[in-house]
Copies of this chain bind each other. A is one copy, B any other.
Amino acid sequence: MQNRTDLALELKEDAKESSLLSGIAVTTRIDASHHIKETKITIKNRKGEEALGKPKGQYITIETKDLSRNDQGFHREMSDALFSNLKSMISEDSKILVAGLGNAGVTADSLGPKVVENLYITRHLKKEGMIKEARELSAIAPGVMAQTGIETSEILEALVEKTKPDVMIAIDALAARSSKRLNRTIQISDTGIAPGSGVGNHRNEITRHTVGIPVLAIGVPTVISVPAIINDLLEEEEQETAYKKLDKEFISMHVTPKNIDESIRRISYTISEGINQLLHIRENRE
């Protein structure tokens, strides 16, 4: 029974000092806007993987210094910070396929499909010669296995083979441990999406290994898992008893705040804007 957070930032809080020395590197910086805090966690080797329970790679968390801030300026700064990080991870001319993971019919799990809705799709326009300068972007919201009967990774692998993008950006709703981070924190990772994480577990591993190209994962915690709540409330020795009594169905259930619709609407727009900036078709922005 794990802690069930998908945020490397939260997993790190539990990690032992020693692992920080030998397997994990952490750096923090304040964004140019003076409002955004970025934490970069690098898992360097197997020791780090074991300490955090996550594969080797980089995990960047973007959040505001003041977690209660929620105005329009905040969203602009978050989308700019997302953009700079993506830009540094994707080469200038790579073709991008965005995968909006999750179930569009379940509000807390609809982040991925909602992001895709607001993207400027260019692949078909470039193929038809209707635009020239912009980067090639395609997107898919494949749905979840209960809707398709097909593993999400299979769908994406098939699409990559057929349409030959250079890099995939996979957007997904995550689980967090702290309610304060819900819908206000963006995690960017170069490791793709590993099984066992995320809200709906709508996939097997979605990584370079399965889909054949590098996968950047963008995630936002939108729910808290029941086990995370139990772990927070109980001492370690009591947890075991509690889990034994717990209705097994609860393990996969999630806790969401009431205004989840509004949060998803805003944060998905923030992410779309960050990705759209990669297209270089908004010079006239200011």
Contact = CB atoms under 8 A, between A and B. Distances in A.
A88 interface: no
B147 A123 contact: no
Contact of A141 (B116, B143, B150): B143
A256 B117 CA distance: 20
Interface stretch (A21-29, A45-53, A188-196, A247-255): A247-255
Interface stretch (A54-62, A156-164, A213-221): A156-164
Interface in A107-163: 107-109, 116-118, 121-125, 136-143, 145-151, 154-155, 157-159, 161-163
Interface string A78-114: 0000000000000000000000000101111100000
Number of identical monomers bound together in the oligomeric complex: 4
Given A162-B158, A250-B179, A258-B253, A138 B148 contact: yes
Contact of A260 (B106, B230, B245, B247): B106
B158 A161 contact: yes
B146 A262 contact: yes
Contacts of A242: 233-234
A149 B162 contact: no
Interface in A200-233: 200, 224, 226, 229-230, 232-233
A35 to B, nearest CB: 11
B140 A124 contact: no
Contact of A229 (B154, B159, B226): B226
A96 to B, nearest CB: 10
A148 B154 CA distance: 17
Interface centre among A118, A137, A150, A252 (most CB of B within 10 A): A150
A150 B140 CA distance: 9
Given A107-B106, A226-B229, A233-B230, A285 B146 contact: no
B138 A140 contact: no
23 contacts: A72-B284, A105-B107, A106-B261, A117-B147, A117-B265, A121-B146, A121-B148, A124-B145, A124-B149, A137-B149, A138-B148, A139-B147, A141-B143, A157-B162, A226-B229, A229-B246, A232-B245, A232-B246, A233-B246, A252-B257, A253-B255, A253-B257, A256-B256
The 9 closest A-B pairs by CB, nearest first: A123-B149, A105-B261, A138-B149, A158-B162, A158-B158, A121-B149, A233-B242, A179-B249, A253-B255
